[in-house]
Chain A
Amino acid sequence: MSRLLPFLGFMLLVALFGFGIWWNTGHDPQAIPSPLLNKPAPAFALPKLYEPTVTVSKSDLLGKPYLLNVFASWCVECEVEHPVLQAETSTLGVLLVGYDYKDAPEDAKRWLSEHGNPYGLLIADQPGQTAIDFGVYGAPESFLIDGKGVIRYKHIGPLTADVVATELKPAIAAVLKESP
């Protein structure tokens, strides 16, 4: 019997790990609702990418919902996301705001001229300070912000056609229904 002890002890470990995996799968760290979800978006004031002297602040955008898309020219996954944004920008029904993250403005402009510009408005956060307030992990990330300035939906990683259809568009529809 005592020879079975190591085996039984190990099986206990396996059960623990199995539980751990199950738990982590059920509670995907990426799916954990951002603490900012359904909270007001942090206040920000950032220069426009193409007109650095003009600053856009949170209050300027109040009144209408918009989708804030964090991207950067150095971000490989953004190139995967970009065609989706290009295709969907006209059908979203809200303003698509590009948030250029930790990027040299020239690089971003070159990148946009290469890949196309789906954004209705472009702001630049070169030092990346405001992104910390938004809790940005890395590009790409997207925030749906309603007319009252509250974050209503957040997606980490590239938006795929699938995510847009099953998650983003229903969220936009819900937001649009509230604000006439």
Chain B
Amino acid sequence: MTPELGQLALILALLLALAQGILPLIGAWRGNRALMAVARPAAAGQAVFVAIAFGILVWAFVHFDFSVRYVADNSNLALPWYYRIAAVWGAHEGSLLLWIFILNVWTVALAAFSQKLPEVFASRVLAVMGLIAVGFLAFIIFTSDPFGRLLPMPGDGGDLNPVLQDPGMTFHPPVLYTGYVGFSVAFAFSIAALLGGELEQAWVRWARPWTNVAWAFLTCGIVAGSWWAYAELGWGGWWFWDPVENASFMPWLVGLALIHAQAVTEKRGSLRAWTILLSIFAFSLSLLGTFLVRSGVLTSVHAFASDPRRGVFILAFLTIVVGGSLLLYALRAPKVAGGKSFKLMSRETVLLIGNLMFAVAAAMVLLGTLFPLVGDALNMGRISVGPPYFGFLFPLLMLPVVLLLPFGPFLRWGKSDTPILKQVLLRAGIAAIACAIVAAFFVDGQPRAIAGVASLVWLGVGVALYAAKRWREMPRGRRYPAEMAGMLLAHLGVGVFVAGVLITESLSVTSDVRMAPGQTQHIAGYDFRFDGVHQTTGPNWRADQGVVTVTRGSDLVGVMHPQKRTYLRGQVQTESAVDAGLFRDLYVALGEPMDTANIEGAWSLRLYYKPFVRWIWGGGLLMMLGGFTCAADRRFRIKRIVESETVEVLLVQETHA
């Protein structure tokens, strides 16, 4: 009976979403305050019912209700409770339920914090959120019901996809979705502005922290996904340009452009149309990501579902949402280039160049992701556009970004003078070149590794110079407002990330070896001794577990236990062993036994030495931290939009006092 209550809750949520999506729009159009006032209670009600539905599905998993098909397909009696909860979003239906649940969390936050916005504008924003919810709820109810029954009820269920049975994967989807869905706020805000026909700078200021938070979550989700792929898939790579990775990377790139464009629009009033267009694109790409992953148009390891009905539904939804908003943009976008003008040598110019690079990079990734589909459609067979395409074009596009990054903060809005820039160029440039020369001796003259060190120093010194300038020139307490601290953190993160990528890619050592117990392999100064394989068991798997003792000279570095697990339902999963360190990872994956009858004999093993690989994720985490820090700036938490100017004056007086 309970699963049917979940279904009922979803239907009620859909009705409330319809009310939230339609009535306030009519109210805002007609100037009817009663209709506008529907938005908030409807949003709250919808959130309650969606939460009930979500809770019922969690309950069904926790209590082994195998009469629910989704539960029976994705869990079994031996699955530990934490993976049973993660199994809620382990496949198609549940991950959509998670999507709508997170959308409701964002909507409720929006309803709570939008009290300061003009009523007409706030109700339009909430209505757009409601319309998005209508689409997703209808999608769940009509094509992807997570509460469908399985009769007769099986005694035990299937299994959660074993690659998902990993701590990294339990929180990767919720965090990633929080980012994806968070772009809906900037989107709703832009659509509301287009509907109203005006875009106040103060409203952009209000929207900025939301975009920053969404982007930071997306960053965190992508980092978690990358780390999971590294630890779990056993190939030792951290990014594969897989269509599903690309699906999350495209909104990230556009979101990055959006964050910077919003800053320009808020502070200078220029780039209004571009900001609106980017916020439409960021959310559209989030939807597109869902479409690509869930429709089965692109088949990859992630595409669990391929039901044409679903594909058609998402495509129709996408056409209405994205097509509709782009048409609205064509008709109503601000016609006159507003805001203050700027010279070539100005902060606007570098931000615009960065924006352009991110947008082109996103388009490049989109093209590379969709190209195989075109090939398929034209019957040229499956063409895959792999790392050579992305790996060549992406660094090329990011090169100007890295080169210009240190100058950005030093440039002034509107018009800037050159002496200070020459100073930055000289200091950061000399430091980078000097460090590169020193580094060349340590990395065997590997050009990419040298470039990695140089970029880190270039960006790091750029950040440090600006931090020092603020320290000298500003009074205490006003040196590093959160917005600026976040910017510096994130830019430093770029340096750490670039260094990690270039050094790992050029200096990693991989070795596929056949080892008999007692044999030793020497890699990058470490001795890996294979001490044989024995059997072990876990809650829902048994495994062949290898023992590899790593020593360096006479010091014991660690004992590693790579596994080859066989899960309850027969799926085999490699569980690699990683000895992590700030400057290097040692990584061992268990291959196959040379003789299947004698697992205690020789095995094939894959050994990696990966210098600075943690810096890749460290850089990502710094960027994430930067995003969150920016959003915390008190400047964004103004009392009331209409009084914003006076409030700012008050704030300034307070800090002076």
Contacts and interface: CB of A to CB of B under 8 A. Distances in A.
Nearest to B152: A79
B312 A20 contact: no
Contact of A7 (B157, B326, B376, B377): B326
A16 B330 contact: no
B326 A6 contact: yes
Contacts of A25: 308
B315 A29 contact: no
Contact of B570 (A10, A17, A18, A102): A102
Contacts of A103: 570
B194 to A, nearest CB: 11
Interface residues of B, number: 40
A16 B370 contact: yes
Contacts of B72: 76
A177 interface: no
A13 B319 CA distance: 10
A11 interface: yes
Interface string B155-169: 001100000000000
Contact of B311 (A3, A24, A29): A24
B377 A21 contact: no
A6 B274 CA distance: 11
Interface in B153-200: 154, 157-158
A11 B377 CA distance: 17
Contacts of B299: 29
Given A14-B318, A29-B306, A74-B569, A24 B296 contact: yes
A50 interface: no
A21 B310 CA distance: 10
B157 A76 contact: yes
Contacts of B152: 79
Contact-residue size bin, chain A (C-beta under 8 Å from the other chain): 20 to 34
* Prevailing SS type, chain B contact patch: helix
Contacts of A24: 296-297, 306, 308, 311
A10 B323 contact: yes
Nearest to B366: A13
Contacts of B273: 3
B311 A16 contact: no
B323 A21 contact: no
Contacts of A10: 284, 322-323, 326
B308 A76 contact: no
B23 interface: no
Contacts of A132: none
A21 B297 contact: yes
B557 interface: no
Interface string A64-81: 000000001011100100
B377 A23 contact: yes
Nearest to A3: B330
Contacts of B568: 74
A21 to B, nearest CB: 4
Contact of B333 (A3, A16, A75): A3
B430 interface: no
B295 A21 contact: yes
Nearest to B569: A74
Interface string A92-112: 000000000011000000000
Contact of B373 (A7, A20, A75, A76): A20
Contacts of B318: 14, 17
Interface of B: 72-73, 150, 152, 154, 157-158, 273, 277, 280-281, 284, 291, 295-297, 299, 306, 308, 311-312, 315, 318-319, 322-323, 326-327, 329-331, 333, 370, 373-374, 376-377, 568-570
14 contacts: A10-B322, A10-B326, A11-B323, A16-B373, A16-B374, A17-B291, A20-B377, A21-B297, A21-B315, A23-B377, A24-B308, A76-B72, A103-B570, A128-B570
